[in-house]
Chains A and B, each alone.
Chain A
Amino acid sequence: DVKVTQSSRYLVKRTGEKVFLECVQDMDHENMFWYRQDPGLGLRLIYFSYDVKMKEKGDIPEGYSVSREKKERFSLILESASTNQTSMYLCASTTGQSARREKLFFGSGTQLSVL
């Protein structure tokens, strides 16, 4: 079974702090994604990566950055946390083979509260 592990289940941070959300997958997937889930808005893509050291902006990248130094690890960084970044953050991965790349495997999520 594919396992996508997010380092924290709950996080509470203060406005202006730099926040790191870590994600590790164990299936040698090429593609990794960061989404946030908000009530009434569904899942919105923040950033994604199709390869090591490669990153692309998603639909809502403002206020975020990412790092992919190793294939299995994809980190989301909030440079200066703000209250509107309070959300559930979900990491996902999938194989690079196009026939199956849409079937994402998700981690359990990190509920971030910014006070």
Chain B
Amino acid sequence: DQQVKQNSPSLSVQEGRISILNCDYTNSMFDYFLWYKKYPAEGPTFLISISSIKDKNEDGRFTVFLNKSAKHLSLHIVPSQPGDSAVYFCAASFSGSRLTFGEGTQLTVNP
């Protein structure tokens, strides 16, 4: 039972445009959501997070939106840069429990 799903295995955007990565979840108990970025030959690194009491969190070019009624979150990157090309994983947890990860989305930003 995949509780966190990223339905798009890949996404390609032009440099300077917006990248939107999506994530859906099924467990309504999840109360904390995170995005990680992974470059080849490196481990994932924490990017941004959001608590379920909020619907938006922004950090520079990165914004995460949470729609609890739809059980959906998205990561917006504006403007996209070639260095943003990586695999992005969304993850969720409840009450500080272990993380459940999605399948990942490969983002490619073309110069």
Binding site for B on A (CB under 8 A): 4, 9, 33, 35, 40-45, 48, 58, 90, 92, 98, 101-109
Q: What are the residues of chain B within 8 A of A41 when measuring CB–CB?
A: 103
Binding stretch for chain A, among B14-22, B42-50, B59-67, B68-76: B42-50
Complex CA gap A103/B101 in Å reads 13
Q: A106-B43, A109-B43 are in contact. Are A101 and B102 (CB under 8 A)?
A: no
A45 engages B98 (CB within 8 Å):
yes
9 interchain pairs, CB-CB under 8 A = A4-B43, A33-B98, A42-B4, A42-B6, A42-B104, A43-B101, A44-B101, A90-B44, A109-B41
Complex: chain A residue closest to B99, CB-CB: A102
Shortest CB–CB separation between residue B85 and chain A, in angstroms? 17
Binding site for A on B (CB under 8 A): 4, 6, 9, 32, 34, 36, 41-46, 49, 89, 91, 93, 96, 98-99, 101-104
A42 engages B43 (CB within 8 Å):
no
Shortest CB–CB separation between residue A88 and chain B, in angstroms? 10
Shortest CB–CB separation between residue B27 and chain A, in angstroms? 14
Q: What are the residues of chain B within 8 A of A44 when measuring CB–CB?
A: 101
A101 engages B43 (CB within 8 Å):
no
Complex CA gap A8/B6 in Å reads 30
Complex CA gap A47/B69 in Å reads 32
A48 engages B101 (CB within 8 Å):
no
Q: A90-B43, A108-B43 are in contact. Are A102 and B102 (CB under 8 A)?
A: no
Q: What are the residues of chain A within 8 A of B103 when measuring CB–CB?
A: 40-42
Q: What are the residues of chain B within 8 A of A42 when measuring CB–CB?
A: 4, 6, 89, 101-104
Q: A43-B101, A48-B98 are in contact. Are A102 and B43 (CB under 8 A)?
A: no
Q: What are the residues of chain B within 8 A of A104 when measuring CB–CB?
A: 36, 44, 46, 99
